[in-house]
Structure 1
């Protein structure tokens, strides 16, 4: 199976990519000649990881009949010092909010995403360390 996108240069350092029915704008920071009109391509790697695992976790929790009020996924990344600077590690923090959270099921959903379903994690694990943790905030009824 093949997949593709198209990316067209706009001006200066800005590009627009057509991803299915959606457009994604990338640009460089001011210090690199861009105008910051879009996300940096490298940071979109973190977006891809958060989005991939987020979809997995929400779908798994739905199948487990676990209700949450909120899920915030934070990706922390380590960059190397050499040029080109690349990611050497990413750490994922899953912060759940809800009433009477079933911590065992939440952790199982994250574990399944990271060990079985998230294709972005699987690809990234081939080139860098990926770690994760789960945090909870119980909502008062």
Structure 2
């Protein structure tokens, strides 16, 4: 895997992935333009994106009839440099009718313990916990 960043101006960078997708990274208005994600934000988004792909794929294989999945994360960062994640809590919201809770638990566990490489990397420095909610599909949606 490869990636490349190129300085645009101040602390704003254009980043290009090995798969040739681009994003802007930036610092806040006090140091730059505040027009892109901060690097640690991207790491956190990468974590929940990685586990989300696992969980969605696993639930489909288990034939769980979900309509949507939303995943959020709350992270604590150390106060001393280098400022790293020390705790991360991931919250999964599975939306749909007739959702088998045991299959949701199994998919999340498999993601965290076996499939999500981002989780494995971040667990070296941060305690990662999770919880989930199952919500009924709203009528008319």
- Pairwise TM-score range, normalised by the shorter structure: over 0.9
Structure 1 residues 140 and 72 mapped into 2: Cα distance closer, same or farther (>3 Å)?
A: closer
Inter-partner Cα distance in structure 1 for 2:116 and 2:15: 23
Measured after TM superposition, the shift of residue 21 of structure 1 is 2.0
List structure 1 runs of 4+ shifted beyond 3 angstroms: none
TM-score between the two structures when normalised by the length of structure 2? 0.93
CA RMSD of aligned residues (A): 1.2
Residue number in structure 2 paired with 1:100 = 98
Measured after TM superposition, the shift of residue 6 of structure 1 is 1.1
Inter-partner Cα distance in structure 2 for 1:27 and 1:134: 32
Residue number in structure 1 paired with 2:53 = 55
3-state SS of the aligned residue for 1:50?
helix
TM-score between the two structures when normalised by the length of structure 1? 0.93
Q: 5+ unaligned residues in a row in structure 2: which ranges?
A: none
Residue number in structure 1 paired with 2:132 = 134
Give the conservation status (yes or no) of the 8 Å contact 1:99–1:138.
Answer: yes
